[in-house]
Amino acid sequence: MGKSDGRALFVRREAHIPAPPASVFALLTDPEKILRWMGTEAQIEPQPGGLYLVNVTGARFARGSFREVVPVHRLAYSFGWDGSEVVPPGSSLVEIDLADEAPNGTLLRLTHTGLPNAEQCAGHNEGWAHYISRLAVAAAGKDPGPDPMAGRVG
């Protein structure tokens, strides 16, 4: 098994966020601000080797550690799920780049590599699409409301 079917196994998302990179970076790295758009609890240490731990749905923890932290422009952290044999903690890599967009917006590019199969790529693609749209709402100063994925284990 592997990548022989010609499809590269990764997730890539791009989004235009109506806030400057510094605001978006804070929403990605400040544990209290993360909870505005994703998760029920978060422990984030945004420095190389620091912990990334977010209870995404209230039923499932994503866990990894930061590899790169370039304030307001880039984050990279290992990623996986507590208790998962398919995508164990730290087994994949999430990279987020934030680029200035005039007048005061941000282009967010997310790449998630190291996922084991197409099914996991599809699932994580759906998850990131959902949470990045909530991030955009929070960045605009609005409340994205209760997370419809709350309680989901899958």
- Report the 3 state secondary structure along the chain: CCCCCCCCCEEEEEEEECCCHHHHHHHHHCHHHHCCCCCCEEEECCCCCCEEEEECCCCCEEEEEEEEEECCCEEEEEEEECCCCCCCCCCEEEEEEEEEECCCEEEEEEEEECCCCHHHHHHHHHHHHHHHHHHHHHHCCCCCCCCCCCCCCC
In CATH, what is the architecture of 10-139? 2-Layer Sandwich (3.30)
pTM score > 0.85 for this model?
yes
Is the predicted pLDDT of residue 8 greater than 90, yes or no? no
- The pLDDT confidence band at residue 14, using thresholds 50, 70 and 90, is very high
Structure confidence by residue, pLDDT tens digits, 103-141? 989 999 999 999 999 999 999 999 999 999 999 999 999
